Structure 1
Amino acid sequence: MDGGIALHPLSKLALVIAGSFSADENADPGSLLNYLPDELACRCDIKEWSCQPSTHYSMPMTMAMEEMLESVAAEGYAGIIVVSGCGVMEEIAYLVNLLWKRSEPVIFANLMVQGRAGVKEGLMNLHCAVLAALSPGAQNRGVLICSSGELFDAGDAVLADPESPDNAFQSPLRGTIGKMLNGELKFLQDSKRPVFLAVRPKEIPYVEIMWASLGGGDGMLSSLLHARELKGLVLAGFGAGNVPPSWVPMIRNLVRSRVEVAVVSRCFQGSVHKTNDFEGSFEKLEELGVMSAGRLNPFKARIRMALGISAGLTHNGLSLYMLNQPVSDNITELYKL
């Protein structure tokens, strides 16, 4: 892959403020440019969009942000840096990545290290993100997260320890795709872009997550069974995607009510697969019409399911999409037209 980064001499970046970036509510977004070398600061245009804490975001708001980012990219910028809080950055970046078809990179920069702005680590992430976005090697990589001086693919980045300056984000499946080494940014491997929907999602449906726990969850699952607005449910199951046997009758009724149900593992690096054939096992759930979401974690599975349902995927189409399989090659069968 790429070694040291060669910057295009005419490239300009948009530095989008999409949430609080400082412990000081009155902080001036323009002050961020003061922390960059002059030769990088002059490449960046500040675009203020929101000062809300990232925990105030929703999927509809994130979709609106993605549309705004597309409009910004259409102005001719070589790349976009997004500055926001890191609390739900994993989910926001993942949703944008599922919709972002353009070649320009979008890089979310984690400036909120240990809850403080202006610390060395946060400013290193800003510097790293700018260098990456200005690099020709960042084109067609989709959405990245920059934290701890490293670049992570939004497709599998997870927030591991928000108080750690060295290990805030991790990528358990692929590791980092780029990092700062001796003051230079280097790309280490290719990014893996997701499959894209043939129809852009519009209204986001109600999709929930149900976590399996030791002897727990029956009451909450029963409540969801009676929620008429529920369109999708992600089961965060034990181990390889197994659930308590007491859940099975309620899951059967949800499927019969045409609620889309998918199962994932609740484990940090878990995946869904068939093990033993017992009540509540993934094999039995599959017989009921529950789909696998493979190696997705519960948060990413919920986002992917919501977008797929919104785009009008059939059950078979959604089953493919949850596993990142192509859903644009047979639109008449995979979408509800």
Structure 2
Amino acid sequence: MLPQTKLALVIAGNFFSDEDNADPGLLLGYLPEELAARCEIKEWSTQPSSHYSMSMTLAMEGMFESLADEGYAGIIVVSGSGVMEEMAYLVNLLWQHEAPVIFANLMVQGRAGVKEGLMNLHCSVLAALSDDARGRGVLLCSSGELFAADDVTLADPGSPDNAFQSPDRGSVGKMLNGEIKFFCEAKRPSFLARRPEELPNVEIMLACLGGGDILISSLASSRDLGGLVLAGFGAGNVPPSWVPTVRNILRRRIPVVITSRCLLSHVHKTNDFEGSFDKLTEMGVMSGGRLNPYKARIRLALGISAGLTDDGLSLYLLNRPVCDDVKTLYK
């Protein structure tokens, strides 16, 4: 544990489902005295997580940067859990400090309720004070376990034991007998050479049986559309009726990405037919690789805002290096 370190406990939304006006100061009273003394509350927002946007989360990450510059050894974020995985993922794509950022899931439903949520707060504080947490980027704490932001997903908000999960590799650490144990490294992303500023409007179009034509036509006619993520069937296939509309969107120089709507799938070539992954990429649609649609949307928005070229965006979506500010990667 780092000597005489201070942690920032950031309130970024409502955090107790059974208390409409929960006092953030009460949180410190639930911690052991020696841990509470290390924490300073920073009230940033009291909005429900469903009211957040990517732009708000980008502004929040900028506030975290200021806290790191002020010398805080770690940042713990408490908020609603509904979009916590997306918030954590966005922050992780920009966070290059050694100090950890840990999103604590206090919004626990089911049999454990508030007690389980406060255990996650305790776990988050211990982890943020641990030397082993430094350099691991952004983590999310739920069920007494620590998950890497690049892989975690909200699986069952009604479960006190498995609300958040990491399908690919499980948790990277957990609290055991009152101590934090890390047992694998968290993957760090390829960082952008420029900081994103004003984020474009990037939408997700979900493929479903024989549907979506009206919605995708409406998106194509919008002047505000800045990017589009297609959540395709299986390995990345969409209805053939979408193809002319997607082609028109590409002609407007609006980036389009193909992902899979399936939780554990990734896009790849399977068959060569109209609307297939292979045909879409031949048209100029970018591969989202193993990204789910929500994470692809965040990467696409950040990459567009940072000024990546089409080649740069294609690399960034696949987590390839884009850290050099060169003409082939940045406009």
- Counterpart of 2:4 (choices 6, 10, 13) is 10
Q: Secondary structure at the match of 2:181?
A: strand
Answering whether residue 92 of structure 2 is matched by residue 97 of structure 1, we say: yes
Answering whether residue 188 of structure 2 is matched by residue 165 of structure 1, we say: no
Tell me the alpha carbon deviations over residues 163-200 of structure 1, each in whole angstroms, 9 at most, x when there is no partner.
11000001111210001223322101001111111111
Q: Secondary structure at the match of 1:334?
A: coil
Q: Check the 8 A contact 2:201/2:226 in 1, yes or no.
A: yes
Answering whether residue 162 of structure 2 is matched by residue 180 of structure 1, we say: no
Q: Secondary structure at the match of 1:333?
A: coil
* Map of 1:130 onto structure 2: 125
Separation of aligned partners in 1, 2:216 and 2:76: 40
Separation of aligned partners in 2, 1:27 and 1:213: 41
Q: Check the 8 A contact 1:105/1:143 in 2, yes or no.
A: yes
Separation of aligned partners in 1, 2:75 and 2:110: 24
Q: Which amino acid aligns with 2:72?
A: Y
Q: Check the 8 A contact 1:153/1:192 in 2, yes or no.
A: yes
* Worse overlay, 242-251 or 326-335: 326-335
Indicate how the Cα distance of structure 1 residues 95 and 117 shifts in structure 2: closer, same or farther if over 3 A, else same: farther
* Map of 2:135 onto structure 1: 140
Indicate how the Cα distance of structure 1 residues 163 and 60 shifts in structure 2: closer, same or farther if over 3 A, else same: same
* Unaligned ranges ≥5, structure 2: none
TM-score (norm. length: structure 2):
0.97
Answering whether residue 277 of structure 2 is matched by residue 282 of structure 1, we say: yes
TM-score (norm. length: structure 1):
0.96
Q: Check the 8 A contact 2:130/2:180 in 1, yes or no.
A: no
Separation of aligned partners in 2, 1:26 and 1:306: 34
* Map of 2:147 onto structure 1: 152
* Unaligned ranges ≥5, structure 1: 1-6
Q: Check the 8 A contact 1:198/1:331 in 2, yes or no.
A: no
Separation of aligned partners in 1, 2:273 and 2:309: 28
Matched residue pairs, number? Answer: 330
Answering whether residue 15 of structure 2 is matched by residue 21 of structure 1, we say: yes
Separation of aligned partners in 2, 1:175 and 1:71: 31
Q: Check the 8 A contact 1:113/1:162 in 2, yes or no.
A: yes
Indicate how the Cα distance of structure 1 residues 25 and 117 shifts in structure 2: closer, same or farther if over 3 A, else same: farther
Q: Secondary structure at the match of 2:328?
A: helix
Q: Which amino acid aligns with 1:102?
A: H
Tell me the alpha carbon deviations over residues 202-232 of structure 1, each in whole angstroms, 9 at most, x when there is no partner.
1110110000000000111111111122121
Q: Check the 8 A contact 2:173/2:182 in 1, yes or no.
A: yes
Answering whether residue 44 of structure 2 is matched by residue 49 of structure 1, we say: yes
Deviation at 1:261, TM superposition (A): 0.4
Deviation at 1:330, TM superposition (A): 5.4
Q: Check the 8 A contact 1:113/1:163 in 2, yes or no.
A: yes
Q: Secondary structure at the match of 1:119?
A: helix
Q: Which amino acid aligns with 1:277?
A: D
Percent identity between the two aligned chains: 72
Q: Check the 8 A contact 2:110/2:160 in 1, yes or no.
A: no
Separation of aligned partners in 2, 1:194 and 1:294: 14
* Map of 1:4 onto structure 2: none
* Map of 2:65 onto structure 1: 70
Q: Check the 8 A contact 1:111/1:117 in 2, yes or no.
A: no
Tell me the alpha carbon deviations over residues 120-157 of structure 1, each in whole angstroms, 9 at most, x when there is no partner.
21011001000100001111111100001000001111
Separation of aligned partners in 2, 1:32 and 1:309: 39
Separation of aligned partners in 1, 2:112 and 2:19: 8
Deviation at 1:25, TM superposition (A): 2.4
Q: Secondary structure at the match of 1:331?
A: coil
Separation of aligned partners in 2, 1:77 and 1:118: 30
* Map of 1:206 onto structure 2: 201
Residue correspondence of structure 1 range 206-285 to structure 2 within 5 A = 206-285=201-280
* Map of 1:195 onto structure 2: 190
Q: Secondary structure at the match of 1:131?
A: helix
* Map of 1:112 onto structure 2: 107
* Map of 2:317 onto structure 1: 322
Separation of aligned partners in 2, 1:44 and 1:208: 38
Separation of aligned partners in 1, 2:228 and 2:32: 48
Tell me the alpha carbon deviations over residues 94-134 of structure 1, each in whole angstroms, 9 at most, x when there is no partner.
11111111111000000010189972210110010001000
Q: Which portions of structure 1, spanning 4 or more consecutive aligned residues, are displaced by more than 4 angstroms?
A: 115-118
Separation of aligned partners in 2, 1:196 and 1:174: 22
Separation of aligned partners in 1, 2:85 and 2:269: 28
Q: Which amino acid aligns with 1:223?
A: S
Separation of aligned partners in 1, 2:44 and 2:201: 26
Q: Which amino acid aligns with 2:123?
A: C
